[in-house]
Structure 1
Amino acid sequence: MKRGEVERARRVYERAADLLADDEHAEVLFVAFAEFEERCREVERARAVYKYALDRVPKGQAEELYRKFLAFEKQFGDREGIEDAIVGKRRFQYEDEVRKTPLNYDSWFDYIRLEESVGNKDRIREVYERAIANIPPAEEKRYWQRYIYLWINYALYEELDAKDMERTREVYSECLKLIPHKKLTFSKMWLMATQFEIRQKNLKAARRILGNAIGMAPKGKIFKRYIEIELYLGNFERCRTLYEKYIEWSPANCYAWMKYAELEKSLGETDRARSIYELAIAQSALDTPEVLWKEYLQFEIDKNEFHRTCELYERLLDRTKDLKASVGLGGEDSQSEEIKNEVSYQQQQIEQVRRCRAVFERAFEYFRTSAPELKEERAMLLEEWLNKEVSFGHLGDVTLVQKKAPRKVKRKRPVPSEDGSTTAYEEYMDYIFPDEVALAPNLKILEAAYKWKKQKTDDTDDD
């Protein structure tokens, strides 16, 4: 260089680059080569050296090289060149991150977004493939939740951006094979694969995917979507088969029972719908039995089957002794259909009132004897009973209820603290029923006797 032998110096650099490209200090050589070309005003040659070096030098050893290249582009490059340099620097940073922590899927997502912004298909696919190769270390859902979105994004990229449907199908297929369905599964992945096949108008493949899902890892979402598809296509027999499998898999699921009955109702199959409801309420365990009973009762009411409705209320009352069931049964008995056509209207009304009153009396007796601690519920029952007697008009007897009505009393009770001591009191509303007042004198006598006995015992101990 000092003697002006530029070409000879360049040949020396080129030979050194060929021989020492894999050396651990190659970065220093390439930077010197590029700076030599800069001094010779050979901008394009310098750029070519930088790019060649960045492709050859390992990313972990190219930090100074990236910094020099970015400075070079800012000085000599156009907008596109500067952007390429910036992308290269960020690519270097992401490569460093994923090399250090390959299971940090957020770093992979950032890296993929960078490559997608550049738009090089081969690079994008390469990063996706490298990312999904980092399988979570344990078969636990918390490790897989972020990982599975790499597959989802990969499939969406192939379908929407790359427009490669065969590769999209392969991505979904490989992902579903990889997931350990016996330990965990992802309904979202099954459903996305299904939707993809439907968009390709491949109904047979969509059904096969959903069938595999039900066979390998059944989930409520899978059943619901499969039934929606078949219902939309008008395949009611398939829907029935799917509902039967749904219920077989989850017999305590009231939603499945109710939707199955709803299907039969929409098809006008009243007897089938009633049979489904009967099978449902016969289950030993249900997740929301109150909703199921309500639906069944409403079904019979809509069909004007008042006798069946009353029987249902009776069965519900025998099972739960619930306040709402008691009130509901009383309401149905008061509104039931005509008993016999030959009986006069007046006699029908009297009979309905009697039956309604009998239900309220049964419920009141239950709360009084079997659940005396449920005073508020007993008071609410009497309030409903009173309203019903008023609605009966001249046939009603409000005094029958009023003499059972409780007296409200405001009381105080201790509020225990964390250490078990009592430092505060709270007010609450108590109900004193007439039958309790009758027992009160006897209770007071027993209480006084107990106090006297305790005092006598204490005096004896003092002696």
Structure 2
Amino acid sequence: MAKDNNGYKYTDNKLPRAKRVKNKAPAPVQITAEQLLREVLEGQEGEIRHPQQQINDATELADFRLRMRKGFEDQVQRQKRNARVWIKYARWEESQKELDRARSVWERLLEVDYRNHTVWVEYAAMEMKNKMINHARNVWERAVQLLPRVDQLWYKYFHMEEMIGNVACAREIFRRWMDWMPDRQGWIEFIEFELRYNEVDHARAIFEQFVQCHPKADAWIRYAKFEMKNGELARVRDVFQTAVDMLDNDEGAQQLFLAFAEFEEGCKEIERARSIYKLGRDRIPKGKADSLYRMFEEFEERYGDRQAIEDAILNKARFKYEQEVRKNPMDYDAWFGYIRLEENAGNKEKIRQVYDRAIANVPPAQEKRYWQRYIYLWINYALYEEIDARDEDHARAVYRMCLELIPHKKFTFAKMWILAAEFEIRQLKLESARKILGTAVGKAAKGKIFKRYIEIEWQLCNVDRCRKLYEKYLHWSPENCYAWIRYAEFEKRICDTERARSVYELAIGQKQLDKPELLWKSYIDFELAEREFERARNLYRRLLERTQHVKVWISYAAFEASAMVGRDGMRSEDVIEQKEQCIQRARRVFERALDYFRTSAPELKEQRSFEESLSNACQVLMTLSLISKKKRHDMIEILEPFFIRNLLTVEKEMKKTKCRIIVAKKERYRELIKKYNHQSTRLPDDHIQLNFCIISLYIFIISINFPVPSRQSQSSSSTSPSPAGSRPASPSSASSESAATAVSPPISDPPSGSREDSTSETPRRS
């Protein structure tokens, strides 16, 4: 037989299978916790009890007592600190009517533990149960002398005296107890004791001592209710007034003001009640006066006029903002809303108080993003003091404190320096403003500060100061192209061209510039404004030595195309010749650019626009031939609706030119014209606007190179004999031309500038 690793034999005996339950109904007796406990208890044996011993004579009784005392003595010796053993011993002696022995046991226990007030209570209870009043009184006296702070002893003592009808002794016990200044419940028990015997004056005197010992709102309210119950309204008002004067900052002051106002409202003293509400609103912190504001609003809704209701609503909004800023003091949006609320109310003291509380919440981190909202609290505060409060000294102090608070070594706010300087200028203190801006430049220079400082000095016509400021500006930020441009424009404004040119030269000579393209453009525009074309041309050449950007080439070509010295007093032939020279120079620039960009496959867009705007039709189409086939097709699609009238008219004269690529398919033109007139193939407005100038110049160039015959010339040609070798126009061609003219769309007039320039000169025919 096989064995396992531990040496045990494997057997074929298997556990029996669980039988399938046939009856799934619940059992008649369910197993519960009670049943389990009952079975356990039933299995236990009965408690063994000692047999009852019957005592027949005094000797047996003495023996029994001796055995019991010996047992108790042994127990108290073993458990001397266990008060229960002693109490059990004393009660047994009491059951044997041995009061002296019982007192002896109690006294022995008090010697062991006299601080246990339960022992005193049990000791006195034994004496009272056996009607030993004097013994009990002695026990209570000893107890209250040794443990005067245990209220239970005093309660039991005066209760015993009251039960036996000794009211005077009970009152004396209370007075002795009050000398120890117990808690409020002891005073209330004393007052209720006096009221049980209708001693109102005694109770009032106790109340006076009570509110002096416990100056809390609930004590004063209880005192006032006591006087109110007795019908002493004047005394009630005096109590409330005294309490209000004493409890300004108490936690329960809100309840005191509410009770006082409710009392006055019950007496129909509406104005008194309103004054109490307002007094409480002013004295109690807003965070502790939720119920007061709510009750005041309800009071005004019942008895107030329009102004009173508005004040109540204002107070409610003020309370809402108080909750928000108390919850999150760094919520500057809540502070802004709170400030606007107070500014609308118009109370200067409250406005300043809210501003002071708001600016006291300085952002914890010295990062500018945390200060960006906070700094506007200072700005609004200063503007309020200057504009609304008309307090210049306070406004100046606000600016000074704000500038001292900002950590200028890490970041600064240029707007704050500028506002402080402008404030001094409005106060006609120019030197103070210069001092502030000078401090800003020296401590925390920024571009905005330089700009504003220069603007102020320029308005004051201080040219030398402006130059010095520009020099400091450039010394602080030599890579700032804006500063260089503004400096040069400043020199140009004061008509010092050489200085301006020198500034530009210094600027373009800097190694690092943030926006050099703007600087070069400004320099070139400056030379063009001075009509210094040669200098501008040299600048373009110098710029091309530094960069070969396509925009530079385009701008250079545009400059050459428009760089005409002047046409005043010149003959038309000279003007035309000069214009041709400009065009040739522009072409040469484009050719140089093409040579440079040949490897990058340029699209020739700018050269095409140039040729379209300045040359004749054949040169235009020669340029278009350089463009890829797809792009040329797109350009033809754009130009077809606008050129169809002129091109169909001069078809015969254009057969020998390259314009045949535009007028090859007459039928297609007619279809396009029909679609165009039905607005089915209209171009987008933005596309038409972008190509308007180019298209207008195209139309004008073609019209002046291939003029359309007028009606008179057509009629004369039709009536005059045709020259030899010529054939008369066929009717079909004439009808087609007239039809094309009839259905062709209207052509927009070219811009006035191009029309005047073209008509003022005598163009040459191609």
TM-score, scaled relative to structure 1 = 0.76
* Correspondence for 1:367: 597
Contact 2:594 2:602 in 1 (8 A): no
2:472 paired with 1:245: yes
> Which residues of 2 match residues 49-448 of structure 1 at below 5 A?
49-330=276-557, 335=563, 358-368=588-598, 372-376=599-603, 379-380=604-605, 382-383=607-608, 386=611, 390=615, 405-409=626-630
Amino acid at match of 1:380: K
Contact 1:231 1:239 in 2 (8 A): yes
Contact 2:457 2:465 in 1 (8 A): yes
Amino acid at match of 2:628: R
**Deviation at 1:89?**
2.8
Give a deviation string over 1:431-459, Cα, whole Å, max 9, x none.
xxxxxxxxxxxxxxxxxxxxxxxxxxxxx
SS in structure 1 of the partner of residue 445 of structure 2: coil
* CA distance in 1 between partners of 2:510 and 2:406 (Å): 34
Contact 1:360 1:385 in 2 (8 A): no
Contact 2:608 2:623 in 1 (8 A): no
Give a deviation string over 1:274-315, Cα, whole Å, max 9, x none.
111111112233333222222212222333333222211111
* CA distance in 1 between partners of 2:461 and 2:552 (Å): 38
Amino acid at match of 1:383: R
How has the CA–CA distance of structure 1 residues 292 and 49 changed in structure 2, closer, same or farther, with 3 Å as cutoff?
Answer: same
SS in structure 1 of the partner of residue 629 of structure 2: strand
Contact 1:112 1:124 in 2 (8 A): yes
Contact 2:363 2:374 in 1 (8 A): yes
5+ residue gaps, structure 2? 1-227, 567-573, 632-766
SS in structure 1 of the partner of residue 374 of structure 2: helix
**Deviation at 1:131?**
0.7
How has the CA–CA distance of structure 1 residues 128 and 385 changed in structure 2, closer, same or farther, with 3 Å as cutoff?
Answer: closer
How has the CA–CA distance of structure 1 residues 15 and 214 changed in structure 2, closer, same or farther, with 3 Å as cutoff?
Answer: same
* CA distance in 2 between partners of 1:53 and 1:30 (Å): 6
SS in structure 2 of the partner of residue 65 of structure 1: helix
SS in structure 2 of the partner of residue 234 of structure 1: coil
Give a deviation string over 1:331-373, Cα, whole Å, max 9, x none.
55564769xxxxxx899999878765554443222112xxx22
Amino acid at match of 2:415: K
Give a deviation string over 1:248-280, Cα, whole Å, max 9, x none.
222232222111111111222221111111111
How has the CA–CA distance of structure 1 residues 315 and 166 changed in structure 2, closer, same or farther, with 3 Å as cutoff?
Answer: same
How has the CA–CA distance of structure 1 residues 48 and 386 changed in structure 2, closer, same or farther, with 3 Å as cutoff?
Answer: closer
* CA distance in 1 between partners of 2:295 and 2:558 (Å): 87
Amino acid at match of 1:364: L
SS in structure 1 of the partner of residue 411 of structure 2: coil
Using the TM superposition, name which of 166-175 and 262-271 deviates more. 262-271
* CA distance in 1 between partners of 2:558 and 2:229 (Å): 111
**Deviation at 1:97?**
1.9
How has the CA–CA distance of structure 1 residues 384 and 310 changed in structure 2, closer, same or farther, with 3 Å as cutoff?
Answer: farther
Give a deviation string over 1:415-441, Cα, whole Å, max 9, x none.
xxxxxxxxxxxxxxxxxxxxxxxxxxx
Contact 2:481 2:516 in 1 (8 A): yes
* CA distance in 1 between partners of 2:535 and 2:381 (Å): 57
SS in structure 2 of the partner of residue 304 of structure 1: coil
Using the TM superposition, name which of 150-159 and 318-327 deviates more. 318-327
**Deviation at 1:150?**
0.9
* CA distance in 1 between partners of 2:624 and 2:383 (Å): 73
**Deviation at 1:165?**
0.5
Amino acid at match of 1:314: R
Give a deviation string over 1:222-242, Cα, whole Å, max 9, x none.
212111111111111111111
How has the CA–CA distance of structure 1 residues 94 and 316 changed in structure 2, closer, same or farther, with 3 Å as cutoff?
Answer: same
Amino acid at match of 1:366: Y
What CA RMSD, in Å, does the superposition of the two structures yield over aligned residues? Answer: 3.1
2:231 paired with 1:4: yes
* Correspondence for 2:712: none
Percent identity, aligned pairs only, is: 56
Equivalent residue pairs, number: 395
5+ residue gaps, structure 1? 339-344, 411-463
SS in structure 2 of the partner of residue 375 of structure 1: coil
Give a deviation string over 1:149-200, Cα, whole Å, max 9, x none.
1111111111111111111111111111111222222222122112211111
* CA distance in 2 between partners of 1:148 and 1:388 (Å): 57
* CA distance in 1 between partners of 2:580 and 2:291 (Å): 100
TM-score, scaled relative to structure 2 = 0.47
**Deviation at 1:22?**
3.8
How has the CA–CA distance of structure 1 residues 324 and 115 changed in structure 2, closer, same or farther, with 3 Å as cutoff?
Answer: closer
SS in structure 2 of the partner of residue 129 of structure 1: helix
How has the CA–CA distance of structure 1 residues 300 and 60 changed in structure 2, closer, same or farther, with 3 Å as cutoff?
Answer: closer
* CA distance in 2 between partners of 1:83 and 1:170 (Å): 34
Amino acid at match of 2:296: F
How has the CA–CA distance of structure 1 residues 19 and 244 changed in structure 2, closer, same or farther, with 3 Å as cutoff?
Answer: closer
Contact 2:457 2:463 in 1 (8 A): yes
SS in structure 1 of the partner of residue 510 of structure 2: coil
Give a deviation string over 1:80-131, Cα, whole Å, max 9, x none.
3333333333322222221121111111112222222222211111111111
**Deviation at 1:45?**
2.5
Q: Which has the higher strand share?
A: 1
How has the CA–CA distance of structure 1 residues 10 and 404 changed in structure 2, closer, same or farther, with 3 Å as cutoff?
Answer: closer
* CA distance in 2 between partners of 1:45 and 1:278 (Å): 83
How has the CA–CA distance of structure 1 residues 382 and 123 changed in structure 2, closer, same or farther, with 3 Å as cutoff?
Answer: closer
Using the TM superposition, name which of 185-194 and 22-31 deviates more. 22-31
* CA distance in 1 between partners of 2:321 and 2:430 (Å): 41
Amino acid at match of 2:491: E
